[in-house]
Structure 1
């Protein structure tokens, strides 16, 4: 098996009026295309800064990502399409209309891509536990797709939120909750090598049986991981993740992108303004 390189970027939080995250994304794209030159790129969601109903932010994000010369796919996060109703941030609940708005621009919200002898699977984590029609359709797609992969090909899974529980009894949608166990049952039929997610704005790797769990950081800003009680030590840093697949084994390395300086959300006035606009609208 030839050595393959896959790059994961996540939580770019792009907005038409948000200069900081836009400039960071441009540097990330240039670094990927001119320095890393991987075989494939996966964006694991929260393309948009904060508002899933902002067509301007959605189109802005697409315009930037379409500048990638490397083949890529995009998955939705909660700020792209909303999330399950229980504990949904500011009432941003996933709906069929929001899913359609995303897929009209970025393409399917779940996909299989074969890169050489490796299979990449992308899933829409915001559907799990949502109860909308698209959730049932995704479960059917997972069952059919897993059956078609077989048990030999190495599989790298990507989605926005973690499968395994992050914090017990959290009031935040940090993972896919009860759906995680069922999803893992489906994945027992494939040679699952890694699970790459975003959402938590920090980096961590943890071996989960035969699979490497990877939390990818944001390219936009760091969040208060300590405030969420994440438990295990995490790396608070902006960056991207480079996966190396060699001989059927998968490793993941956190990379800092030159020129992208670490920042907290509270330090970014244009991001704060976007958040305040959403808060004001939800209070009406």
Structure 2
């Protein structure tokens, strides 16, 4: 069985550079890789969680996938917890609702053969809004129903494990990670796939493989986030191969999608400038 993870597409109605990359990604997935399922781990839209036109544009592009897929929200889709929230983009129930109306549930379970995929909304962890409490209830109920034998692949936007201690950025789900790991001790967790950091890395975490997926849109500047471990700075997607209880991953370049920094994409910079002007 093969699963493809894409992340941080940063699509916008007036942002052709990232949309062109996404079209090439979709074509490559459908016509070359032909996986069993696709997971998008968030930051679907370019930068503004309140831009309905960008949401509809992104949904239209992703709907061109012929492969079954699910989408998860990132911080630029619905905001994030108030502490260190970028440009005051704080997660709210209204923003979550606007996302789910277009892309579907913000947390989900998908059973594929003998494997379970779990998708979680990382942006509500530590937020204190009602959606967080409802997700914890959902996690408790869902995890209890999986059992301890069935392989589980978890996906969310932000990393579960701490990225950098005492960071002034919301790089991971902070204190909520320890509680989530307690819940996941009851399942056969094989991998945790996330995005957000715009780079690729794998790291074994006990019995689970941690996977940071790169962006399909633009790379983070080398050293911008102060990441401790070596990472791969390039655009791409991640292919998961599940064989019995074993999960392996491979970083793939998509033909025609060329590495770029955000500062090299004028249409992305224009979208960022618009948000900064409103802040």
TM-score normalized with structure 2 length: 1.00
User: 2:42 aligned to 41, 45, 62, which one?
Assistant: 45
**Residues 1:240 and 2:206 are matched in the alignment:** no
Deviations 1:117-164 (A, max 9, x none): 100000000000000000000000000000000001000000000000
Q: Partner of 1:224 in structure 2?
A: 221
Deviations 1:199-236 (A, max 9, x none): 00000000000000000000000012412110100000
Q: Indicate conservation of the 8 Å contact 1:222/1:263, yes or no.
A: yes
Q: Indicate conservation of the 8 Å contact 1:202/1:225, yes or no.
A: no
Q: Partner of 1:266 in structure 2?
A: 263
Q: Partner of 1:77 in structure 2?
A: 74
**Paired residue secondary structure (1:238):** coil
**Paired residue secondary structure (1:14):** coil
**Residues 1:167 and 2:157 are matched in the alignment:** no
Q: Partner of 1:33 in structure 2?
A: 30
User: 1:111 aligned to 108, 113, 117, which one?
Assistant: 108
* Structure 2: segments with no counterpart, 5+ residues: none
**Residues 1:126 and 2:155 are matched in the alignment:** no
Indicate the RMSD between aligned Cα atoms, in angstroms. 0.4
Q: Partner of 2:98 in structure 1?
A: 101
Q: Partner of 1:275 in structure 2?
A: 272
Q: Indicate conservation of the 8 Å contact 1:122/1:158, yes or no.
A: yes
**Residues 1:86 and 2:83 are matched in the alignment:** yes
The change in CA–CA distance for 1:225 and 1:140 in structure 2 (over 3 A counts) is: farther
Deviations 1:84-139 (A, max 9, x none): 00000000000000000000000000000001110000000000000000000000
Q: Aligned residues, how many?
A: 279
Q: Indicate conservation of the 8 Å contact 1:200/1:225, yes or no.
A: no
Where in structure 2 are the equivalents of 1:118-157 lying within 5 Å? Answer: 118-157=115-154
TM-score normalized with structure 1 length: 0.98
Q: Which runs of 4+ in 1 moved over 2 A?
A: none
- Matched residues in 1 for 2:109 and 2:223: separation? 35
**Paired residue secondary structure (1:175):** coil
**Paired residue secondary structure (2:42):** coil
- Matched residues in 2 for 1:262 and 1:207: separation? 27
